[in-house]
Amino acid sequence: MARKSFPILKQLIQQCTNRSFSSTASPRAVTLIPGDGVGPLVTDAVEQVMKAMKAPVYFDRYEVRGDMKCMPEEVMDSIKKNKVCLKGGLMTPVGGGVSSLNVQMRKELDLYASIVHCFTLPGLPTRHNDVDIVVIRENTEGEYAGLEHEVVPGVVESLKVITKYCSERIAKFAFEYADVNKRKKVTAVHKANIMKLADGLFLESCREVAAKYPEIQYEEIIVDNCCMQLVSKPEQFDVMVTPNLYGNLIANTTAGLAGGTGVMPGGNVGTDQAVFEQGASAGNVGNEKILKLKKANPVALLLSSAMMLRHLEFPSFADRLETAVRRVIAEGKFRTKDVGGDSTTQEVVDAIIAAVD
């Protein structure tokens, strides 16, 4: 099988050396979903910074709640038209009959690759220094296939679906990411010692793709050992490729090593569309105290919006935003409570706007 280029991947991650983009660039429409809880607070932060930077984007805003039975058709049409979406967190009710809108969106748009870049930021105290891990997670199947039913009262069966097509596709994506970004190693995370057929198929696919990239080191690790290794020696990992459920757990664990979910950017990409949001689980979405005090951390979504700008081929704006965020964090004067400060969301936003070149 020949190596295949992923245009949307290269738009998203390749650093462009052209710095000629300016506010005269043709503006792009972006679908905006503020979401639940603190979501509107942090998406408003992004809008303020974009306006201050005169970034060539404008937002089509749609109000969506996590307890809706399905994503409104007009929202999906907007994303398909604009091809790019920025969203705050959507709360998925625990139990009951309401399915996750996040999962619905990933399936309908075939956003098959989740990218979470976990890295330590200078000036932000963490247990480990120099963490720089990219978790690439298959986003459309596995335990998240949503195929559950009650066999008899008191017995529920949940199906884990793994296919050759999706496993091979995410493995290609991971190796292409590593290749474009000059990364040295890809680690496949699995539980094939127990789930020999399902995770065995995932590993088989990763091995076949790895053979096409001999210049990139390839390793495999069982998911439980991976968790232990992450918290003890995270520096051994570079790019990690995982099935759906493991990737969710690994990304959140890795985010905790590098400063928390409030500073981790992420994106979900497919062949035609991309949705950018906080990289690891937005556990504070429904935190009433944070919302009341207006002290939600906007950094994760701001860095995710920088990923979005680079995807839209506005790299100079992305660089300016990332530099401003890093500068404010390094100075340490304005930080929200989750990263050791007591600043409000607006105070952090004002500091970042002031730091934009």
SS3 assignment for 168-203: HHHHHHHHHHHHHCCCCEEEEEECCCCCCCHHHHHH
Would you state the pLDDT for residue 288?
A: 79
Which tokens sit at 194?
């127990």
Which tokens sit at 263?
């500073």
Domains of the chain: 26-90+97-112+265-356 (3.40.718.10), 126-257 (3.40.718.10)
Q: Measure the CA–CA gap between 220 and 253, rounded to whole angstroms.
A: 18
Q: Distances from the Cα of 276 to the Cαs of 58, 115, 305, 311, in angstroms? A: 15, 10, 7, 10
Would you state the pLDDT for residue 1?
A: 44
Q: Measure the CA–CA gap between 175 and 13, rounded to whole angstroms.
A: 13
Q: What is the pTM of this model?
A: 0.89
Element (H or E) spanning 31, and its range?
A: strand 28-33
Element (H or E) spanning 223, and its range?
A: helix 223-232
Which segments within 62-192 are labelled E, that is strand?
84-87, 113-119, 132-138, 148-152, 155-158, 185-190
pLDDT in tens, the chain (357 residues): 445 445 455 555 444 334 334 445 689 999 999 988 889 999 999 999 999 999 999 999 999 987 888 899 999 999 999 999 999 988 877 765 557 888 889 989 999 999 999 999 999 989 888 899 999 999 999 988 778 899 999 999 999 999 999 999 999 999 999 999 999 999 999 999 999 999 999 999 999 999 999 999 999 999 999 999 999 999 999 999 999 999 999 999 999 999 988 999 999 999 999 999 998 775 566 677 888 889 999 999 999 999 999 999 999 999 999 999 999 999 999 999 989 999 999 999 999 999 998
Which segments within 205-307 are labelled E, that is strand?
217-222, 239-242, 265-269, 274-278
The CB density around residue 73, as the number of other CB atoms within 10 Å, is: 8
Which tokens sit at 327?
């500068």
Q: Measure the CA–CA gap between 234 and 295, rounded to whole angstroms.
A: 30
**Which residue has tokens 């690994």?**
250
| Residues 253 and 261: beta-carbon distance below 8 Å | no
Which tokens sit at 292?
């009341």
345-355 and 315-331 helices, crossing angle to 10°: 120
| Residues 30 and 60: beta-carbon distance below 8 Å | yes
Q: Measure the CA–CA gap between 65 and 44, rounded to whole angstroms.
A: 17
